[in-house]
Structure 1
Amino acid sequence: MRDILVTLIVFGWLPLVFKKPYMGALMWVWISVMNPHTQGWGFATTFPFAAIIAAVTIVSLLFSREEKSLPLTSATLVFIAFVLWMNVTSIFAIYPEEIHDQWVKVMKIMLMTFVVFMLIKTRKHIELLVWTIVISLGYYGVKGGIFTIIGGGVDMVLGPEQTFIGGNNEIALALIMTIPLMHFLQTITPKIWVRHALTAAILLSSLAALGSYSRGALLAIAAMGAFLWLKSQHKVRIGMLLIVAIPPAVAFMPEQWTERMDSINSYEEDASAQGRFNAWWMAYNLAKDKPVTGGGFEIITPELFYLYAPNPEDLHAAHSIYFQALGEHGFVGLGLYLLLGLLTWRTGSWIIRNTRKLEEYKWAYNLARMIQVSLVGFLTGGAFLSLLYFDVPYYLLGAMVATRILVAKELKQKASSASDKKGTGAPRQFGQLNPSQAGTIAGDSS
């Protein structure tokens, strides 16, 4: 039944893509983030839904009369450079004959990310993109939260198999990233029942993250909660909510959960933690030997661990977005990735700074703040996970860039209109910008 349902949704949606190409971008995000076909047990689990959606979306994009240029800001230019650099490191990969499958997988993700960037333009598009991400991941949050309550937190929450978020650590981090986006949607929806439903989803997703038994997720929650409180305009309300919600949730979890979380303090004796450190040293030592290009894809091999790891017998994936970038793409690749994160953050800061006192752009102000909160969770939890190619952070980059371009364009138009009125003798109203201010706002200063 689930296989048929997913098939009907996909093929029923495809005709809309030819009329509205952005619908194809949203469907791609849904199929790539949620992976709904993995929830079935029949033909849908191996049916090439993603390839069909991608093909139809690209064809509709090519023949569409709508504007379809790639937004060229400092953040997107660095993203392009990062993707190109992956191809350079693939040419000089240590195991060039073994990287093909991973290269194809990553390049498909990046190609469709560029397509999303090209098609998400308006406020409606941006909000629908956030809704798509929230529904795609929130499904697992609600499901996992209910599972945790029913089972008393004894069994571990996992994500869909054979996806980026299949493991307990990965699904926990994805849910943590989703919670601020849920809060953003609460600020833009006029329907009370939707706001209440999102509150329930936030609580259940938080419980599911705890039920994953992920220690990295616990650190990410702490970092994200602290930043949310710091940036919030309602510090007392947020503080009281955290005080009221966290202790009961932690008290609900069984003793085995507490023991696992307590092991953070004794990481020297924890085999999993030591395995991560071993993999980090391996990536660092490999990058020192090949500082420019790194080792390329597929470097987790016994041979390379024998050459570069302190403990050659402890074979582990990088378990860190930073060391994964370093080992696979060298210091140049890591530098580009860190710069991309910085520019994404500054794009959000620009939006916040220029919309803080403008009521009509409150949606943009709240979106930028909540994406920054989400990124704090990802950048903290990602320090312990191999999620360099997880697509959701790149979609959030696209939402941030599209929001900035839209806000800058509209503010420039208003400033120009105010200037015209001033030239005809009409008084300039309070809060309107002069042309010089408009130029500063419209320019890419991030």
Structure 2
Amino acid sequence: MHDIRAIRENPAGFDAALARRGDAGMSSQVLELDSARRAKIQASEEAQAAQNAASKAVGAAKASGDEAEFERLRALVAEKKAEVGTMQGEAKALDAQLADMLARIPNLPAEDVPEGTDEADNVEVTRWGTPRDFGFAPKEHFEIGGVAGAMDFGTAGKISGARFVMLKGAVARIHRALAQFMVDTHVDQNGLTEVNSPVLVRDEAMYGTDKLPKFGDDSYQTTNGWWLVPTSEVPLTYSVAEDILEAGSLPIRMTAHTLCFRSEAGSAGKDTSGMLRQHQFEKVEMVSITHPDESDAEQKRMLRCAEGILEALGIPYRTVILCTGDMGFGARRTFDIEAWLPGQNTYREISSVSTTGDFQARRMNARFRPEGGGKPEFVHTLNGSGLAVGRCLIAVLENGQQEDGSVELPEELAPYLGGKTRLNAAGALE
């Protein structure tokens, strides 16, 4: 949500920031609606003052015995009361229209975000690891001999339709091991607090984390009104909604491993093979609630937490900063981490780490009390994948594949796999 006062003070700057995203300026429409709303509020207050004055005069007219004046003033009070009610209703309607308009305008990019129109204009900032020379043509994850029988799309399709998968046996265990390894690393090494959060949330939580109203079609809603979370960013971030936190309690750093659900409404025909893009998937999410002065440093810290997972697993990756035209709706700045997938011979996104500034905090009224007192201020919120579990499984399987259909697994997973480090061509751990 945007600060209407900031738009009033610098409408040209607001429009220029939107233009960097490739969006049309909105300040004139916003300020026109804001002006109408403020005028209606002022008229309502003036009518209320006239009603109050007439109400006082009624008593004086009754005391003086002036029946004609008494009846005139009574009629005036009734007239002003009706006028106040009408104006307050109109002001409330205009206020709702303004809030809806502001809620549909994307966040403004940070000054250091590179300008561009799409992913081709994203800028690589770092690269780690060297893609392996296989000596044979590497396969995609679902084609690997030891994997194919345990990654069952047919049965999942019979049960749920397209873009679902049923993992079985050793592959299911590797998937679970990856999630456990990620959570343990974030808790034990990165200092995050583990949270077991709901995956059904109310409208307010989706709105407060900028998923509504704009992206309702990209999520699933139950028949009784709850939303299935697109990511645990929603419950983790919204956990501080309406709170006034003490400055000394910041930053709050959380992580959660949950199921996630996305309709993929805007991705028809993309990544239809394998489990790269699913309606239901698992993710280990990181969320930080910070003091505004610390949010940029916190984003870099969260980025290193996510990169460290891939480094521990030995997965080559590159990190890019998204250009203005490729950033998400609520982001002020986003870094994507892309893992090397030899089966596709390319890097694919496995994590996004974003700062939203106070964009989400304004929507959910999350504030902190400055040290030494003073008026509460909005916190800054950040979120990042640490990592997408299914995509990490793909990366581990493809990078570790052998010509005979077996897969060499990262040593870091051995404690979660009973000490085993290899998936043989028959699909068993050894």
TM-score band, normalised by shorter chain: under 0.3
Larger relative helix fraction: 1
Q: Which has the larger radius of gyration?
A: 2
TM-score of the superposition, structure 2-length normalised? 0.23
Larger relative strand fraction: 2
